[in-house]
Chain A
């Protein structure tokens, strides 16, 4: 008897937990997915009767940082084609959500790819439309030679719309106080010296956003090749070694940059640390402007100057920097509204996207009005930037660029191994060996 009541108690407890879990799960799911769907379904019905087309565009930028204004502008001017913006978070889960939506045939008409590898996967599964069927817009001519990196099997499956600048942001006041000029092109050794001179007390002289952290390696290998002539991994390139050594020296000997373990586990908010004036140099990209224009959350009392990301190799004329173009917008190959989507995409690329500049996304097309974009990029904070170096880094720098196109698996195996090195768990040689071995086995797997 006793055992039975106990059992009944347990069972009801388990059932209850299950029920609770079920409820909460459903709750989340509903609020995320079905609500916007229902809403749009309603709209679709009411509007199709009036003969308008409704397009759905999926992008990763929060609507309030530009996209909403862009589509509001479009919708006002084009009552016959209405665009709705759906935001997905640009991470593993978010991209999976987008892929699933497209595969299961939900209506996605336009979508933004943020990396070449994501775009390539979507092309492989016939989700992105080959844009060469539209002949009234010459992507090469409009976007310039930098668009090249986004060609997949020699064709465009999307329009790279933004110019993405990557740079070192500098605290101009701190530089002036130390008597250091704003560098135009420089090496990592020079940056290391700067960091030493700018270091105050036990604060750091240089911090990095984790997104462009590994770029120096990619800058080298995008030119020299990720594989050697015989098809084996090129991750043992001498400059990879040099990068590892330089940063490790800065972390441990100079103590001018935070040790990687500390930065990762504290999820260091690098933008905030830089903008509060605590650390004078930051490796980041144009999205910094989103925060640096926001004086309410990030009050700041110094001028920001900009410098090219330093190079590992000695000579400046062989250097390529990351950047080029980004926000590769594709049309869903299964969409029934491709013509309308194409109209919107052309308008968007040729300057319709100007409000996006407030979030650091400058239009890439030569026909877009750069002054408009610059105005919304800087807003009323123009005076708080060093305009000479800003113009140089964002517009005038003629250093060739590359677009990161490494598969996620290789990015991950590489970062796992260099983390072990920076955390002191394995030596430099072990790290290089492990990277090469794992890359080789990846190459073999995916031959």
Chain B
């Protein structure tokens, strides 16, 4: 009697997750398996005949200089994640206390996140113009004779992209932090105050550890989101100048939809998957050291 009731419950459960699972299977699992198969073929979009080529694509990838440049660029791009999280924490702590225009400032910080990426990209391109852009104008005005070329040189372009991305993610990270800070019990803060803790000590020893699960969440989601990000780079530089801003996801996009090299692009996609996997596992293992639930 009891078992059949359990069974019915189970069936019902499947029914509930059904709609979602169908979507996941159709639009994620099947394409993923298909791309795994494509990795071993020379399939080109539109090309009538496709051959099985074994490990050729992987071999080609490992011998492709641009692939390694793309990995390096991706890592440089990921630098923006911890920086943005750190800044967001500081902003959230300040905004969580009583400051003037608190609500307005919160809204302002969140603005980038809800604006269109391409529009934002164009504004930043104007700001970053090496000769008559406002950023370099200000730098020159405060006495820096040779400000960086930002997007216009091979060396600085990735950092310029980092700055844009930090600014873009700041609002989202800040909102999540604000929510977490609201949850911090006032008693703890009051106790700290009575014990004579300074602001800095309160932040370091009470707030930061207490929001560490949030930090962890932001770190994982931020890294995954950034590693897959290519829209903003495609809009601003298309991977240039040279290939100084070609990140892995952009490299995949170019191979798949510019050159129609689906087989090769699938191989690089799986490499990207492996990299994301490694990042996540390392963080998961590392969390015990610093995340306090």
A interface residues (Cβ-Cβ under 8 A, vs B)? 2-3, 6, 9-10, 92-93, 96, 99, 103, 121-122, 124-127, 259-262, 264-267, 408-409, 412, 416-417, 419-420, 423-425, 438, 441, 445
Q: Which of A262, A409, A419 contacts B259 (CB 8 A)?
A: A409
Q: B155 contacts which chain A residues (CB < 8 A)?
A: 425
Give bound CA distance, A127 to B48, whole Å: 11
In the complex the two chains form, is B128's CB within 8 Å of A265's CB? yes
Can you give 14 contacting A-B residue pairs, CB < 8 Å?
A2-B183, A92-B257, A99-B45, A121-B47, A121-B260, A124-B47, A261-B151, A264-B240, A265-B129, A412-B254, A419-B240, A419-B241, A438-B65, A441-B63
In the complex the two chains form, is B46's CB within 8 Å of A423's CB? no
Q: B129 contacts which chain A residues (CB < 8 A)?
A: 262, 265-266
The 5 nearest A-B residue pairs measured at CB? A261-B152, A125-B46, A420-B242, A425-B154, A265-B151
What is the distance, in angstroms, from A108's C-beta to the closest C-beta of chain B?
14
Give bound CA distance, A425 to B69, whole Å: 15
Where chain A touches its partner, the secondary structure class is: helix
In the complex the two chains form, is A127's CB within 8 Å of B257's CB? no
What is the distance, in angstroms, from B50's C-beta to the closest C-beta of chain A?
12
Where chain B touches its partner, the secondary structure class is: loop
Given the known inter-chain contacts A265-B129, A409-B259, please indicate yes or no for A9 contacting B152, CB distance below 8 A. Answer: no
Give bound CA distance, A409 to B154, whole Å: 21
B150 at the interface (CB under 8 A from A): yes
In the complex the two chains form, is B48's CB within 8 Å of A126's CB? yes
Give me 10 other A-B pairs in contact (C-beta within 8 A), A265-B129, A265-B237, A423-B153 excluded.
A6-B179, A121-B260, A125-B46, A127-B46, A261-B152, A264-B241, A412-B258, A419-B154, A424-B153, A438-B65
B149 at the interface (CB under 8 A from A): yes
B3 at the interface (CB under 8 A from A): no
Q: B259 contacts which chain A residues (CB < 8 A)?
A: 408-409
In the complex the two chains form, is A408's CB within 8 Å of B242's CB? no
In the complex the two chains form, is B179's CB within 8 Å of A423's CB? no
Given the known inter-chain contacts A6-B183, A261-B153, A264-B152, please indicate yes or no for A425 contacting B242, CB distance below 8 A. Answer: yes
Q: A266 contacts which chain B residues (CB < 8 A)?
A: 125, 129
B131 at the interface (CB under 8 A from A): yes
B243 at the interface (CB under 8 A from A): yes
What is the distance, in angstroms, from A3's C-beta to the closest C-beta of chain B?
8
